[in-house]
Structure 1
Amino acid sequence: MAADPKPLKLWDRDKGKAVEEFMSDHQTTYETRPLRAPGQWLRATPIFDKLYALYQDAPWTRRNIAPFVREYHIDMSEFEERRYRSYADWFVREFKPRKRRFPTDPRQRGAPAEARYFGWKRFGPDQRFPVKEQSLAAADILDNAERAKPFLGGPVLLMRLSPVDYHHVHYPDDGRTLDHERLGRSIWTVSWTAVQNKPDIYIRNERQVNILETEHFGRLGFVEFGALTVGRIVQRHPLDHPFKRGAQKSVFKFGGSAVAIFGEPGAWRPADDLLEHTPQGMETIVRLGEPVAVSRGTS
């Protein structure tokens, strides 16, 4: 039976305290086991995603922007000032120049997305989520045991982008793309309540897998997940061109979404506050560019 969505307890890094976050949504999307939710399978298809995206791109949806900004206290002074043609256009808004900065210390890795973060020092085949013992294995996510081999036993960052967030993803370091593949079909929400009720949600979701060779953090398995009403992951940077730290990589078109980064064993470690709060099942709110990991050889 569906239940009222419950607020998530998060650690707010900037405020230095725990906060609660609530995003209202259709109850059956988040609370009911998907097989029992009427219409859930339809809403999890790319066709529904495209139709919903077309609707949100209609000019009359501009009227939804101001109420959403007020309800979730979004500071629009941080974003470029322009007239948005639709709600979907506003959803992919961009920061004003220099509103977010990446670390100048090459050993510090800046957050590639403005999101809620989990971090693990080591993530092996037997490692499990701190939420009802659901597992996230590199081989499953990357869909290729050989591709996953360099990351077994290595660190992992998992970030969840809320609908209130800036939905562009940036490169964490200088480097180049070694491999890229688009996987998955159905588009499920990536809220933690939904993850509890559908253990294979990250495996089923549309995702884009990138193997990145970086200058200071070694090889990374960089995976972008589409979620309910955000199945379109648009790569902004040509994948056959080298990239720079902080450069825009991709954008999620409307909705919630997630990113996972797998690292080679010993190459880097997640930031201390992520490691502290992850075992408690508490995500940490991190702004784009803020430090989320340190490279090998730093304390």
Structure 2
Amino acid sequence: MSEKQPIIVIDRVTGAQFEETVLGEKWIRWAYQDSSSSIIERLLFRSPVLSRLMGWYYDSPLSKGKIQGAIDELSIDTAEFADPQESFASFNEFFVRHLKEGTRLYDTAEDTIVSPADGRVLVFPKLDEDTFVPVKGHPFSIRRMLPGISKRFIGGSLAIVRLCPADYHRYHFPCAGEIVGSKDISGALHSVNPIALGAGPDVFGENKRSYTLLKTAKAGTICYVEVGAFGVGGIVNTKTTGHVEKMDEKGYFKFGGSTVVVVFEPNAITFSDDLVANSAAGKETLVKVGEPFATAL
């Protein structure tokens, strides 16, 4: 991505395109696009030290003063908050906020797969063997992202849901099923912003991540992956075993941009037409958790 090229996203509800506001954009571009910054990039973005320090700060009462500024800059709708703004003792309490009941409605049909999170969505209906290429990015590999379990997903389909600081940062199960496996994988903490993806780091194969295997009645076995990113204080999974229902909370990300990747076996689902069309045109779609995402075959 060139220095002046904006990040354009399609609003699913209105169909309008808008330019995404990126917190810390100049620093991300400096770290990933400035040829003189390679040493700094390794120090800051491959080491977890700075992200841990940021996590500590955003967990502390010292960060509370940052809340209003973030709400204003990112145009966050405070009417959705389940708890009053003044009740948040730290920035991370605000960041992992719950929403009011009924704020995110969802399709209850058994064969409908819903979006697992609020975010910007890209879908890949039929993978070329094990590779996928995000907007302005480089080819990424399921084999690298899911070492040891990738074989069953080769030739399948995949969706990326990229969360930004403005988004609701709790993520949910896209359908009912049984948790049959999970694993945490340590790694780097690259930014998941398209600016970083365009610079070439293997975000999905190198970053810290967690995956959960969900056996479903209609859509085969789904692999649900949370990808950590620069500044993320933690990936916190609140439901890790047993049976789950559609839209049950799975967990949340602490401060920082983060990503959920949902991987399907071959011939298991078909993605919603608008997501397919926008992705084919190289555009992400702004989607809310619970909205229709795919249909089980």
Asked if TM exceeds 0.5, the reply is yes
1:138 corresponds to: 142
8 Å Cα contact 2:137/2:199 also seen in 1: no
Find the counterpart in structure 2 of residue 105 from structure 1.
Answer: 109
Among the aligned pairs, what percent are the same residue? Answer: 29
Residue in structure 1 matched with residue 214 of structure 2 by the alignment:
212
What CA distance in whole angstroms lies between the structure 2 residues aligned with 1:129 and 1:43? 21
Q: What is the CA distance between 1:123 and its match in structure 2?
A: 1.0
Paired position in structure 2 for 1:292: 293
Alpha-carbon displacement from aligned partner over 1:212-262 (angstroms, at most 9, x marks no partner):
11222211111110000115111101x222111100001111100011111
Aligned residues: 292
The aligned amino acid for 2:255 is: F
State the alpha-carbon separation in 1 of the partners of residues 39 and 97 from structure 2.
33
Superposition deviation, residue 46 in structure 1: 2.3
| Aligned positions of 1:62-73 closer than 5 A | 62-73=64-75
Q: Which residue of 2 aligns with 1:90?
A: 94
Structure 1 position 42, deviation (Å): 3.1
Task: Give the whole-Å Cα distance in 1 for the aligned partners of 2:37 and 2:196.
Answer: 12
2:177 corresponding residue in structure 1: 175
Cα distance in 1 for partners of 2:79, 2:280 equals 35
Q: Which runs of 5+ in 2 are unaligned?
A: none
Equivalence for 1:13: 12
Q: Distance in 2 between the 1:43 and 1:16 partners?
A: 35
Aligned to 1:48: 50
Quote the offset at 1:207 in angstroms: 0.3
Q: Is the 8 A contact 1:205 1:227 kept in 2?
A: yes
Q: Of residues 100, 118, 125 in structure 2, which corresponds to 1:121?
A: 125
- Does the CA contact (< 8 Å) of 2:46 and 2:188 recur in 1? yes
Within 5 Å, which residues of 2 pair with 1:222-233? 222-230=224-232, 232-233=234-235
Conserved? CA contact 1:5–1:30, under 8 Å: no
Contact kept, 8 Å, 1:173 with 1:216, in 2: the verdict is no
Q: Which amino acid aligns with 1:220?
A: I
Match in the other structure for 1:184: 186
Counterpart Cα distance in 1 of 2:155 and 2:41: 39
CA distance in 2, matches of 1:33, 1:154: 36
Check conservation: 2:178, 2:215, Cα contact below 8 A.
yes
CA–CA distance in structure 2, aligned partners of residues 5 and 215 of structure 1: 47
Over aligned residues, Cα RMSD in angstroms? Answer: 2.1
- List runs of 5+ in structure 1 lacking aligned partners: none
Question: So what's the TM-score if we normalise by structure 1?
Answer: 0.91
For residues 132-281 of structure 1, the aligned pairs below 5 Å read 132=136, 134-144=138-148, 147-230=149-232, 232-237=234-239, 239-281=240-282
1:283 CA drift (Å): 0.4
Shift of the alpha carbon at 1:45?
2.2
Deviation at 1:34?
A: 9.3
In the TM superposition, what is the alpha-carbon distance from 1:153 to its structure 2 partner?
Answer: 1.2
Structure 1 stretches (4+) deviating beyond 4 angstroms?
2-6
Q: Is the CA contact (8 Å cut-off) linking 2:130 and 2:155 kept in structure 1?
A: no
Aligned CA distance change for structure 1 residues 34 and 220 (closer, same or farther; 3 Å): farther
Q: What TM-score do the two structures reach when normalised by structure 2?
A: 0.92
Deviations 1:118-168 (A, max 9, x none): 011111336441545611222111012xx1122111111111001111111
